[in-house]
Amino acid sequence: MSNTESSQRALGPDEVARWLDENFVRLVAERGVPGASVAVLAGGQVVGAAGAGVTSLATGVAVDTDTVFQIGSITKIWTTTLVMQLVDDGLLDLDAPLLDYLPELVIGDMDAAKVLTPRHLLTHTAGFEGDIFTDTGRGDDAVEKYVATLTELPQLFAPGETFSYNNTAFVLLGRIVEVLRGKPYDEVLVERLARPLGLERVSPSPYEAIRHRAATGHVPGEGAEAELATASTWALARSNAPAGSMLAMTPTDLLGFVRMHLDEGIAPDGTRVLSADSVRDMQTRQVDLPLLSGMGDAWGLGWELFDSPQGTVVAHDGGTIGQAAFLRIVPEAGVAIALLTNGGDVFGLFTDVVVRLLADVAGVRLPERPTPPADSQQVDVRRYLGRYADTIYDISVSQDADGALWLDREPKDIHAEIGEQPVRFRLVHLRGDSLISVEPVRGLHVVFTFLGDVPGPDGSSRAKYVHYGRVVSRAD
């Protein structure tokens, strides 16, 4: 069906299933994705689902629609839902001090800690370093032990000042769930979400995932032309579970969870899982985002929000060790699409499948991602030059003898351990204090926005932070 035709008439259920049958296997192969699975929800029902490729290049086991993949940071929406259930039960106030619920919490800046609220955590505006991946073991106390390690957690900016994607914040939210429910996070998730929704393949850990056909992640080998290799580790640590380190399921399971949100918090059997007010609050704009590549226009409570001429698209993506997950929802149309993958050109496959089906099923066209201007404006780049660092990357911005601007990103900690390679971006001016990579990386032209001011050695103003979805502080 052409784009013109799709804008006039949405695909019906049979047409969605037929399109997937005719195209999904081919698209997965063309994008070099080892394995993937997709499902489409419309009118309260899954109207199409497909699997293609293999769960692992090492075993050759085929992916089918019952294969479980890790959903990565889409787990944050499950955690947010558990938190909002606490609000519904009168156990939690999103605007009360965080220390009321976690009095034992000690971080690097206790003055900031006294200001922090659960709302700051849910909206990625807490301001502290957000990529702490300390492994505290596999026991039921893994999250509790993780929180106890945060005594020197750096505060990058004041709570509420700006958005900076924050995994650590969601582990703290998971700990709140544990404290107020009196059970480990995994048990609460199954008891209060998976079981009431009748989702049988939701797997909070590898011990549950192994009971099903489970996908393994794939990462690039060393060298520019290296082929994909199976990841040496299946999942990240249990201590980061509330942020998305290991939860796995099928796309159909994920859409079963989404259906509850589309049905104002009601499970298929009529059970009230979440209040309608909490469903709406989660999808309500809380904070606007700076210009970023591949990310939304705003954030709600947990949810990422994209503006489109046809209405708000509610979303979240996830990435773990060699696996990537994509979820897009159009509440006004009652349409949702989940795509789960295990390596390769996942963003290309997302465009081929999810972006196409959003247009053809819901009539929604996502805004184009930023691209380099044809004639880039020349600007004074001196305020951007220098070194920036956080726990997962060392970043340096430099200018060569020909005037070209370069950003070098060196992975460290968990990103280095899972085999991520250094990347060099050539940058040009996009607008304001935002620069964009000339060449795409994994299908995206990456936007780097420079924020704040600190004095340079010559008295000139220099950027305090570089922002690419996460705020990274200047280190020189």
* pLDDT at residue 46 in the model: 98
Domain 1-368 fold: Beta-lactamase (3.40.710)
Is 343 in contact with 323 (CB distance < 8 Å)?
yes
In the chain, the percentage of residues whose pLDDT exceeds 90 is 87
Question: For tokens 């004074």, what's the residue?
Answer: 380
| 26's tokens | 């081919």
Model confidence at 457, pLDDT cuts 50, 70, 90, reads confident
CB environment 189-226: b (16+ within 10 A), e (fewer): bbebbbebbebebbbbbeebbeebbbbbbbbbeeeeee
* pLDDT at residue 306 in the model: 96
Residue type, 396: S
**What integer is the mean pLDDT of 298-316?**
96
**What integer is the mean pLDDT of 299-312?**
95
**pTM of the full structure:** 0.94
Please tell me which residue, 456 or 58, carries the higher pLDDT value.
58
pLDDT digits (tens, 9 = 90+) for 74-84: 999 999 999 99
Is 79 in contact with 126 (CB distance < 8 Å)?
no
Sequence-distant contacts of 457-466: CB under 8 A, at least 24 apart: 460/382, 460/383, 461/383, 462/382, 462/383, 462/384, 462/385, 462/386, 463/383, 463/384, 463/433, 465/156, 465/157, 465/388, 466/384, 466/388, 466/395, 466/397
**What integer is the mean pLDDT of 56-61?**
98
73 as an active site residue: the answer is yes
Q: Give me the CATH code for the 382-474 domain, please.
A: 2.40.128
CA distance 389 to 40: 40
* pLDDT at residue 225 in the model: 61
List phi, psi (to 5°) of 103. Answer: -65, -20
**What integer is the mean pLDDT of 326-355?**
97
**What integer is the mean pLDDT of 132-158?**
97
| pLDDT above 70 for 197 | yes
| 222's tokens | 């060393």
What is the chain's mean pLDDT, rounded? 94
| pLDDT above 80 for 6 | no
Model confidence at 460, pLDDT cuts 50, 70, 90, reads confident
Residue type, 95: D
pLDDT digits (tens, 9 = 90+) for 159-196: 999 999 999 999 999 999 999 999 999 999 999 999 99
Please tell me which residue, 290 or 100, carries the higher pLDDT value.
100
CA distance 344 to 435: 26
Please tell me which residue, 32 or 391, carries the higher pLDDT value.
32
| pLDDT above 80 for 5 | no
* pLDDT at residue 2 in the model: 37
- Sequence-distant (6+) residues with CB within 8 A of 476 are 386, 387
Q: Using CB atoms within 10 Å of the CB of residue 108, give its burial: 0 to 12 exposed, 13 to 18 middle, 19+ buried.
A: middle
* pLDDT at residue 436 in the model: 96
* pLDDT at residue 349 in the model: 97
Is 290 in contact with 163 (CB distance < 8 Å)?
yes
In the chain, the percentage of residues whose pLDDT exceeds 70 is 97
* pLDDT at residue 9 in the model: 59
pLDDT digits (tens, 9 = 90+) for 379-433: 899 999 999 999 899 999 999 999 999 999 999 987 777 667 899 999 999 999 9
pLDDT digits (tens, 9 = 90+) for 255-288: 999 999 999 999 999 999 999 999 999 999 999 9
CB atoms near residue 388 (< 10 Å): 26
Model confidence at 224, pLDDT cuts 50, 70, 90, reads low
Distances (CA, A) of 443 to 117, 229, 422, 430: 36, 20, 17, 18
| pLDDT above 60 for 8 | no
**What integer is the mean pLDDT of 19-23?**
98
Question: For tokens 């200047």, what's the residue?
Answer: 474
Domain boundaries along the sequence of the chain: 1-368, 382-474
**CA angle at residue 28 from 24 to 31, to 5 degrees?**
140
pLDDT digits (tens, 9 = 90+) for 110-123: 999 999 999 999 99
Set 73, 164, 239, 437: catalytic member = 73
| 391's tokens | 């726990």
